[in-house]
Amino acid sequence: MSDLARAEQWMRLALEEARSAAAADEVPVGAVVVRDNQAIASAHDRKMELRDPTAHAELLALRQAADRLGDWRLDGCEIFVTLEPCAMCAGAILLARIEAVYFGADNVKFGAAGTRIDLFGDHGWNHRVRVVRGMLADECGRLLTDYFRAKRNAERD
Amino acid sequence: MSDLARAEQWMRLALEEARSAAAADEVPVGAVVVRDNQAIASAHDRKMELRDPTAHAELLALRQAADRLGDWRLDGCEIFVTLEPCAMCAGAILLARIEAVYFGADNVKFGAAGTRIDLFGDHGWNHRVRVVRGMLADECGRLLTDYFRAKRNAERD
């Protein structure tokens, strides 16, 4: 399997997480942490369920991965997320020493990986993260568009 | 009591949290969330203990406050933290709709409230946070300096 096909396979797992979020009436964003070609954590947004403003897919997946590895340093790990990380999540990815971030849809309002601000740019942090943007972007974005359209329509009923 | 004296009182509580962190061999940073002139959450860094890269004082205090209020929105809340928030924590403060951040020492390496970057500046987010910097800064900073000096000396022994 090519590296791209392998990476897309992880993004498809993140998409499955995002679909679970939509089914639970959470914002459909999913994230998967991968090390040595194995998924070691996967999560979706649970802000409403947990009543926790920090319960974004990425933050939950990072915490799950650290718990599994027994180490706050996620050396050698990559994260796949269906939506461009916000500032909180980009910051957490840096703190956890993640090697690479693959994301799907651009986050037009809150994107912190280049769209609104770029926390992964050259700020002189003590760690650099490789960023791959736009992976399965249409599919990732469509889930979000459909979710918010359905919410708006429900509010009108 | 003047507003300043009242605010300093909360920062002193955050300093107590920071001292508990140092005693537990964690980076001495403490945070307190206040609403209606009552402390509803307080925490210190627990990254080593919890093996969690996201276990900064602010993030833990925000989650604790949301849990206590039963709502991810921390409307009407202020946070007092002994060190300028990093990008993750500044992002979380924005997401939680905190009204104001009071911080002590500047975070020279990772400060995201003006020192390295300014996430609370005009980025067109959907929420604005009022920032008060430098409260009891010397005392807050000294705790950190002493902690890192002791660590360096211990490494030399």
Nearest by CB to A92, which of B48, B67, B88? Answer: B88
What ipTM does this complex have? 0.96
At residue B124, the pLDDT reads 87
- Residue A108 touches chain B, beta carbons under 8 Å: no
pLDDT digits (tens, 9 = 90+) for A126-150: 999 999 999 999 999 999 999 999 9
DSSP secondary structure code for residue A88 in this structure: H
- For position A157, what pLDDT does the model report? 67
Which uninterrupted H or E stretch holds B64?
A: helix B57-69
Rounded to two decimals, the pTM is 0.96
Check CB contact under 8 Å for A91 and B86: yes
- Look up B58 and say whether it is catalytic: yes
Residue tagged active-site, from A17, A58, A78, A84: A58
Two tokens, residue A92: 């957490």
With contact defined as beta carbons under 8 Å apart, do A141 and A148 qualify?
A: no
Do B64 and B43 form a contact (C-beta atoms < 8 A)?
yes
User: Which one-letter amino acid corresponds to residue A131?
Assistant: V
pLDDT by residue (tens digit) across B78-124? 999 999 999 999 999 999 999 999 999 999 999 999 999 999 998 88
Please give the order of strands across the beta sheet that includes A130-133.
A38-44, A30-35, A77-83, A100-105, A130-133
Instruction: Please name which of A63, A54, A117, A67 lies closest in space to residue A93, comparing C-alpha atoms.
Output: A63
Other beta carbons within 10 Å of B8:
17
Residue B126's closest chain A neighbor by CA?
A: A109
Closest alpha carbon within chain B to A124? B109
A91 to chain B, any CB pair closer than 8 A? The answer is yes
* CB atoms A51 and B62 under 8 Å: no
Q: Which two tokens stand for residue B99?
A: 């009204």
- Relative to beta strand B130-133, strand A100-105 is unpaired
Identify the CA nearest to B119 among candidates B95, B83, B146, B150.
B95
Across the interface, whether the CB atoms of B87 and A109 are under 8 A apart is answered: no
Q: Is the pLDDT of residue A85 over 90?
A: yes
Tokens of A130: 């490789």
Residues B26-42: pLDDT tens digits? Answer: 999 999 999 999 999 99
Q: Does B67 touch chain A (CB under 8 A)?
A: yes
